[in-house]
Structure 1
Amino acid sequence: KTKHTRLWTREQQPPPMAKLGEGDDRWIVKEREDGRNVNNWHWSETSYTEWAREKLGARFEGVAIGDGTRSAGKLLSLETMKGDVTVQSRKQKRFPLYELELTIRWEGQLFDASGGTAVEAKGRIKVPDLSEETYDDLEMTVLCDEETDAKRPLKELVRKEGGKAVRAACLAFVRELKETVMKGHEPPPQKAPPRERFNAGYVAASAETAKTGAVKVVYSYNPPPHVLYETLLDTQRIRGITASDASMSTEVGGKLMMFSGAVEGENAELKPFDGERAVIKWKWRFSTWQPSHWSTVLITMVKQDDGSTKLTLEQTGVPEDERERTERGWKGMLFEPMNAMLGGRVIGA
Structure 2
Amino acid sequence: MAKWGEGDPRWIVEERPDATNVNNWHWCEKNASGWSKEKFKLLFEGMTIDEPGLAKVTIKEVSKTEGEAMINNRKGKLIYFYEWVLKLEWEASLYEDPKKEVKGAMEIPNLSEENDASEVDVNVSLSAGGSKGEQVKEFLRKKGYKDIQDKIQEYIVALKREYATDLILPTKDQATTKSDKTCINSPPVEKSTNINVINTTNNLDKLDLGCKISTSSFTQTQNFKCTADDLYRALTQREVPNKRITQNWRFRSWPNGHYSEVVIDLVQKEDQTELTLTQTGIPSNDLERTREGWRNYYWESIKRTFGFGTMLI
- Per the alignment, residue 45 of structure 2 pairs with 61
| AA aligned opposite 2:131 | D
Of 279, 288, 307 in structure 2, the residue corresponding to residue 312 of structure 1 is: 279
Q: 1:302 to 1:40 in 2, by over 3 A?
A: same
Of 172, 175, 179 in structure 1, the residue corresponding to residue 154 of structure 2 is: 172
Contact 1:63 1:165 in 2 (8 A): no
What CA distance in whole angstroms lies between the structure 1 residues aligned with 2:291 and 2:54?
52
Per-residue displacement from partner, 1:251-289 (whole Å, max 9, x unpaired)?
xxxxxxx5xxxx9x9xxxxxxxxxxxxxxxxxxxxxxxx
Number of residue-to-residue matches in the alignment: 204
- Per the alignment, residue 223 of structure 2 pairs with none
What CA distance in whole angstroms lies between the structure 2 residues aligned with 1:188 and 1:103?
32
What CA distance in whole angstroms lies between the structure 2 residues aligned with 1:303 and 1:141?
29
- Per the alignment, residue 159 of structure 1 pairs with 141
Per-residue displacement from partner, 1:100-146 (whole Å, max 9, x unpaired)?
1111111002233xxx4252211110011012232222212101123
What CA distance in whole angstroms lies between the structure 2 residues aligned with 1:64 and 1:161?
13
SS at match of 2:100: strand
- Per the alignment, residue 131 of structure 2 pairs with 149
Task: Give the gaps of 5 or more residues in structure 2.
Answer: 1-11, 169-176, 185-199, 217-259, 266-276, 300-313
| AA aligned opposite 1:243 | C
TM-score scaled to structure 2, two decimals? 0.51
Q: 1:86 to 1:235 in 2, by over 3 A?
A: farther
Q: Tell me which structure has the larger Cα radius of gyration.
A: 1
Q: 1:301 to 1:80 in 2, by over 3 A?
A: closer
- Per the alignment, residue 106 of structure 2 pairs with 125
Q: 1:25 to 1:313 in 2, by over 3 A?
A: closer
What CA distance in whole angstroms lies between the structure 1 residues aligned with 2:135 and 2:73?
48
| AA aligned opposite 1:30 | D
Of 82, 85, 93 in structure 1, the residue corresponding to residue 77 of structure 2 is: 93
The offset of 1:157, in angstroms, is: 2.8
The offset of 1:150, in angstroms, is: 4.1
SS at match of 2:48: strand
What CA distance in whole angstroms lies between the structure 1 residues aligned with 2:285 and 2:33?
13
When the two chains are superposed, the root-mean-square deviation of aligned CA atoms in Å is: 4.7
SS at match of 2:152: helix
Contact 1:75 1:162 in 2 (8 A): no
Q: Does residue 30 in structure 1 map to residue 27 in structure 2? A: no
The offset of 1:158, in angstroms, is: 2.7
SS at match of 1:176: helix
Q: Does residue 45 in structure 1 map to residue 32 in structure 2? A: no
The offset of 1:87, in angstroms, is: 0.6
Per-residue displacement from partner, 1:136-170 (whole Å, max 9, x unpaired)?
22212101123733421222233244312101100
What CA distance in whole angstroms lies between the structure 2 residues aligned with 1:124 and 1:188?
38
The offset of 1:98, in angstroms, is: 1.2
SS at match of 2:154: helix
Higher helix share: 2
TM-score scaled to structure 1, two decimals? 0.46
| AA aligned opposite 1:179 | R
Q: 1:80 to 1:303 in 2, by over 3 A?
A: closer
Contact 1:73 1:106 in 2 (8 A): yes
Note the 1:1-349 alignment, pairs <5 A.
26-28=14-16, 30=18, 32=20, 38=22, 40-67=24-51, 69-112=53-96, 116-117=97-98, 119-134=100-115, 135-146=117-128, 148-180=130-162, 183-184=165-166, 189=179, 243=211, 312-313=279-280, 326-328=287-289
What CA distance in whole angstroms lies between the structure 1 residues aligned with 2:211 and 2:163?
20
Task: Give the gaps of 5 or more residues in structure 1.
Answer: 1-23, 193-200, 202-233, 247-257, 266-298, 305-309, 316-322, 332-346
Higher relative contact order (CA 8 A, sep 6+): 2
Per-residue displacement from partner, 1:212-237 (whole Å, max 9, x unpaired)?
xxxxxxxxxxxxxxxxxxxxxx9887
